[in-house]
Structure 1
Amino acid sequence: MANIRNLDPGASPLDYYGSELRRLREEAGLKQGELGSIVFCTGSLIGQIETAHKVPTRELSERLDAALGTDGQFSRLVGLVLRSQLPSWFQAYAEMEARASYISTYQAQLVYGLLQTEEYARAVLGVRSDGDLDARVAARIDRQRVLERDEPPLLWAVLSEAVLYQEVGGAAVMRNQLAHLLDLQRRPWVSVQILPFEAGAHPGLPGTFNILRFEDDPDIVYTEDFVQGHMTANPQAIREGSFRYDHLRAAALSVEDSADRIARVMEERYAHGPGPDGRDVA
């Protein structure tokens, strides 16, 4: 007889998802392999999800809902599952980020998470190998769904020019990441400015920070150290953060000139990587 791991549905969203999948599959009279065939995956993957060893994707969740007639149950649950894969200290910020109507970010070393390609995110998160890398990447990319809403937040990003030169994941990954930034610039609710090296000393030298604004709640300033993140709605901190951000925007290149700088670095530094369509560029 197979050794079936007993899950505690209250232990985590992933455990609850797995226990519900097993319960509903058995109620439907399906074996793991049979359900896998219906939703175009292996029975082994179904088993791994049912035992909370594998994180499901949104696409698989939609197929499970269709196969088991669960009226969107797994599609709703998967958001909680993916968010639970974020570091525990980051989850509160991710919830606030998803509710914000205006996101301002200054990034000194990396592209902001909402603007990262999957390959870039994988390279960033892969620096440390603890945990399920696929799950952590999926959780980061899932955060970007906020930009696909009918009424997405306004997102304004000021990136140090160093972000363009910090080669993360190799030339091909960087070329596609910079191309992605240019593509995002075409969205009316996303603006990216580059803070050039020639700006010299500037108010962002102490480090990266984000400001979240809401329709009905106080603004929040978010910063990180190498251990965890810190959120505050302290009015003095909001005033200082807003002051610094206004000066960073003023010192940065215009949105149009920033796009030109991104394109120039993409061609001059990463010209031999494949473009967004996957073909090599001479």
Structure 2
Amino acid sequence: MVNIRNLDPSASPLDYYGSELRRLREEADLNQPQLGKILYCTGSLIGQIETAKKVPTREFSERLDAALMTSGSFSRLVGLVLRSQLPTWFQAYAEMEARATYLSTFQAQLVYGLLQTEGYARAVLGVENPDRLDEMVAARMDRQRILGREHPPVLCVVLDEGALHREIGGADVMRSQLLHLLGFLDHPWIQVQVLPFRVGQHAAMMGSFNLLRFDDDPDLFYAESYDSGHMTANPQVIRERSVGYARLQASALSREDSAALIERVMRERYGHEPGPAVA
């Protein structure tokens, strides 16, 4: 069935994407099934995207740009569309994260979002967002694109050992996630350290937090509560948390020892003998 629902292009980036897709498809004198055949997808999918019922992927957008010769318009727009799928309270942080030169994070329970595999992210997000799971996973995966830029940010991660043992999504998902973390051992701009249980009390007993540094803007501190995020450039907060983070790094295992612990947990808890780590 052809979807003909009218959209308000100003309502959201997703509505604008859908309205532009319909406008340009009609200008090309193509119906939904015809465009779907060109893009190797169904006409129904075209209709769902045109009516803002489904979120487009980057791959779809790139193929669409090629098919309609739009000079990359949809590939540029899809980033806004995917970011708009993030919780409203998180979007401001995501924008700053994408601009940061240095990212430092302590994670008390979970692997940091920028280092999550799709399976792990799907298990985490599916707990409270089953109705929008595909959209939110796509948005989280899209955030990770900053790590593949020509000039990516420096990312330092201190991960509580508990995150290695908390079985998210089952053993297969955890094996893939821990193997993914091992792949960053020799990465030039990413450092993963594990804070072992034996450390006991430490400088982040209040929970997870992030520190963002920029070339031309003040540093930022970010932490989350249940359904909101707190971001501040207060110099005293930045000073205190920066010292606290330095203490966490000093208490954590080295990169090499962290990788050895991750590998041991993966083997003993999730039953896997890893091959060579690949960055």
> For the superposition of Structure 1 and Structure 2, which TM-score range results when normalised by the shorter chain?
over 0.9
Match of 1:243 in 2: 243
| Distance (whole Å) between structure 1 residues aligned to residue 63 and residue 173 of structure 2 | 30
Match of 1:188 in 2: 188
Matches within 5 A, 1:14-163: 14-129=14-129, 131-163=131-163
| Distance (whole Å) between structure 1 residues aligned to residue 272 and residue 100 of structure 2 | 38
Whichever residue aligns with residue 164 of structure 1, its letter is: L
Whichever residue aligns with residue 193 of structure 1, its letter is: Q
| Distance (whole Å) between structure 2 residues aligned to residue 77 and residue 105 of structure 1 | 29
The answer to whether the 8 A contact 2:267-2:273 is kept is no
Q: Mark the CA change 1:146 to 1:3 in structure 2 (over 3 Å): closer, same or farther.
A: closer
Please state how far the C-alpha of 1:186 moved relative to its aligned partner.
Answer: 2.3
| Distance (whole Å) between structure 2 residues aligned to residue 230 and residue 26 of structure 1 | 45
Q: Mark the CA change 1:3 to 1:41 in structure 2 (over 3 Å): closer, same or farther.
A: closer
| Distance (whole Å) between structure 1 residues aligned to residue 273 and residue 255 of structure 2 | 25
TM-score (norm 1): 0.95
The answer to whether the 8 A contact 1:172-1:274 is kept is no
The answer to whether the 8 A contact 2:263-2:274 is kept is no
Please state how far the C-alpha of 1:180 moved relative to its aligned partner.
Answer: 0.2
The answer to whether the 8 A contact 2:2-2:32 is kept is no
List alignment gaps of at least 5 residues for structure 1: 277-282
Match of 2:164 in 1: 164
Whichever residue aligns with residue 179 of structure 2, its letter is: A
Match of 1:280 in 2: none
Please state how far the C-alpha of 1:191 moved relative to its aligned partner.
Answer: 0.3
The answer to whether the 8 A contact 1:175-1:273 is kept is no
The answer to whether the 8 A contact 1:65-1:73 is kept is yes
| Distance (whole Å) between structure 2 residues aligned to residue 271 and residue 53 of structure 1 | 41
Q: Mark the CA change 1:137 to 1:217 in structure 2 (over 3 Å): closer, same or farther.
A: same
| Distance (whole Å) between structure 1 residues aligned to residue 41 and residue 2 of structure 2 | 20
Moved over 3 A (4+): 272-276
The number of residues matched between the two structures is 276
Please state how far the C-alpha of 1:274 moved relative to its aligned partner.
Answer: 9.8
Q: Mark the CA change 1:257 to 1:152 in structure 2 (over 3 Å): closer, same or farther.
A: same
Please state how far the C-alpha of 1:271 moved relative to its aligned partner.
Answer: 1.2
Matches within 5 A, 1:259-274: 259-271=259-271
SS at match of 2:157: strand
The answer to whether the 8 A contact 1:160-1:195 is kept is yes
C-alpha deviations, 1:41-94, integer Å up to 9, x for none? 000000000000000000010000010011101001000000000000000000
| Distance (whole Å) between structure 2 residues aligned to residue 130 and residue 257 of structure 1 | 37
| Distance (whole Å) between structure 2 residues aligned to residue 198 and residue 2 of structure 1 | 61
Whichever residue aligns with residue 218 of structure 1, its letter is: P
C-alpha deviations, 1:14-52, integer Å up to 9, x for none? 000000000000000001000000001000000000000
| Distance (whole Å) between structure 1 residues aligned to residue 209 and residue 55 of structure 2 | 30
| Distance (whole Å) between structure 1 residues aligned to residue 263 and residue 248 of structure 2 | 21
Whichever residue aligns with residue 252 of structure 2, its letter is: A
SS at match of 2:183: helix
The answer to whether the 8 A contact 1:85-1:136 is kept is yes
Matches within 5 A, 1:7-18: 7-18=7-18
Please state how far the C-alpha of 1:240 moved relative to its aligned partner.
Answer: 1.0
Percent identity reads 70
SS at match of 1:64: helix
The answer to whether the 8 A contact 2:182-2:262 is kept is yes
TM-score (norm 2): 0.96
Superposition CA RMSD, Å = 1.5
SS at match of 1:207: coil
Please state how far the C-alpha of 1:132 moved relative to its aligned partner.
Answer: 1.6
SS at match of 1:184: coil
Please state how far the C-alpha of 1:185 moved relative to its aligned partner.
Answer: 2.3
Please state how far the C-alpha of 1:243 moved relative to its aligned partner.
Answer: 1.2
